Structure 1
Amino acid sequence: MSRIEEGRPTPVLHLENVSRVHGQGAAEVHALRGVDLKVHPGEFVAVMGPSGSGKSTLLTLAGGLDTPTDGQVLVEGVALGGLGRKKLAQVRRRSVGYVFQDYNLIPALTAAENVSLPRELDGLSTRAARREAVAALTEVGIPELADRYPDDMSGGQQQRVAIARALIGDRRLVLADEPTGALDSTTGEAVLAVLRARCDAGAAAMMVTHEARHAAWADRVVFLRDGRMVDETASQDAASLLVTAATNSKQGDR
């Protein structure tokens, strides 16, 4: 049974009939088609589907990194499409934490500097931002890497730094694209427990994953195929999720 009950407040994230088309004419690709999705405070949503189904596009639109061709994206009731560049950047720094699949760390900055950067850009002092950064790095189990540069870390360590950067401050929405992809199973489960705890404390999270056992941490699982939301279900045990995911994948191959 979902941890989220009826009588919910305003969604932290609301994708309202969102479509995204890339290219024109013969090269036109419909990445997303009329997706309606709400993620409420305290809710952890997993997004699954075959490759090319629109999962990463859904996340980039939700995070204000791209704009929909049709429909609108609202974060805490604010339509991102109506914001100027400065206001949009503020929303992304203050309200949205984004875990990129390729980490997107700045090589010239240490782990702590990478994590603290959004807070410093918001005017927090360097000392205070570093304290928050070390706390976030501790939350994902790597405080000892605070002064290490990305090139001196493994892929899994870089991934955890990227997750810490998404968690720093009072982020109301955490978006994660395959956040456990570079992690071993034990570390991956620990990171998912951190995301789950953030949601239990009142934040909202949406995670793209191919792993049913990881989706089992979520309250709700959304399935995409060919850019459409084809199914959603309350989180079940991993075995049941595997069956559902496999069924949707086979249907997509027909």
Structure 2
Amino acid sequence: MSGAVLQLVGVTQQYGEGETSVSALSGVDLTVDKGELVAIMGASGSGKSTLLSIAGGLQKPTSGEVVVEGTYLSTATRRDLAQLRRRSLGFVFQDFNLIPTLTAVENVTLPLELDGFRARVARRAGRDALASVGLEDKIDSYPDDLSGGQQQRVAIARAVVGGRRLILADEPTGALDSVTGEAVMKMIRHRVDQGAAGILVTHEPRHAAWADRIVFLRDGRIIDETQRHGADALLSSTR
């Protein structure tokens, strides 16, 4: 598919061997296109976070193939994978993963500086990214001086700075109140509407309803999916 940013083909992840082996993923096929947000839902232990980790090249599957913007991760070198994560992938985690000794703008620009951007250019891009999430007045603040919602917005700015094309969000609203959580979802949706592809792991139907497609996992397998027009019905059924 020409618009595909991410493709998982027959992806299996198995831990252990013999009778004690556990299959976290079993033959998963998934394609995410440019401008598409896909929500992954399922019970605890269904394989959601494993899928996200494999999609981002943080771990290799036992079998199957992962392709990000035409790059086959199975044959990519460690250096290639590191470069791909710095340039193309944006991660948003529930616990923010900010470095406490760096300011907001330093946290955002760190991936750019590691990729060889000059400090002045990186800082300008970081300021713009923080402004895009409403934190232009917090660029020199440290994480401990920010609220949970503000820290998550810094994490989103870091995920999108430099024009990253694949946003991977693992329960990004889990530590936030409902109002702030909705604001975070709006930001992720906006970035996808600008042309990125996105995967959102969530257990909240109201957040999954922001997605174009909802994929359901059970025991490491995709068992069902619904398009955006079906998300409202899903949300209504949980109220």
> Normalised by the size of structure 2, how large is the TM-score?
0.93
Counterpart residue number, 2:94: 101
CA contact under 8 A between 1:31 and 1:226: conserved in structure 2?
A: yes
* Letter aligned with residue 135 of structure 1: D
Q: CA deviation at 1:104?
A: 1.7
Paired with 2:74 and 2:237, the residues of 1 have a C-alpha distance of 34
Is the 8 Å Cα contact of residues 100 and 142 (structure 2) preserved in structure 1?
yes
RMSD: 1.9
> 2:166 corresponds to which residue?
173
Does 2:29 match 1:32? no
Worse-superposed segment, 182-191 or 92-101: 182-191
> Deviation of residue 141 (structure 1)?
2.2
Unaligned runs of 5+ in 2: none
- Spell out the pairing of 1:48-67 with structure 2 (5 A cutoff): 48-67=41-60
| Matched positions, count | 239
Q: What residue number does 1:252 align with?
A: none
Q: Which moved more, 1:81-90 or 1:18-27?
A: 18-27
Inter-partner Cα distance in structure 2 for 1:16 and 1:234: 20
Q: Which amino acid aligns with 2:58?
A: L
For residue 74 of structure 1, what is the aligned residue in structure 2? 67
User: Residue 220 of structure 2 aligns to which amino acid in structure 1?
Assistant: G
| Aligned sequence identity (%) | 62
Which residue number corresponds to residue 163 of structure 1?
156
Question: Quick one: distance in 2 between partners of 1:107 and 1:27?
Answer: 40
Shift of residue 236, structure 1, vs aligned partner? 3.7
Separation of aligned partners in 2, 1:182 and 1:145? 20
Corresponding residue number in structure 2 for 1:219:
212
Unaligned runs of 5+ residues in structure 1 are: 1-7, 247-254
Question: Offset at 1:63?
Answer: 0.5
Shift of 1:178: 1.1
Question: What corresponds to 2:82 in structure 1?
Answer: 89
Cα distance in 2 for partners of 1:207, 1:120 equals 27
- TM-superposed deviation, 1:213: 1.1
Q: Offset at 1:244?
A: 7.1
- Residues 3-18 of structure 1 aligned to structure 2 (within 5 Å): 9-18=2-11
Matched with 1:187 is 180
Q: 1:163, 1:179 within 8 Å by CA — same for their partners in 2?
A: no
Residue pair 2:104, 2:141 contacting (<8 A) in 1 also? yes
Is contact 2:112–2:122 with CA below 8 Å preserved after alignment? Answer: yes
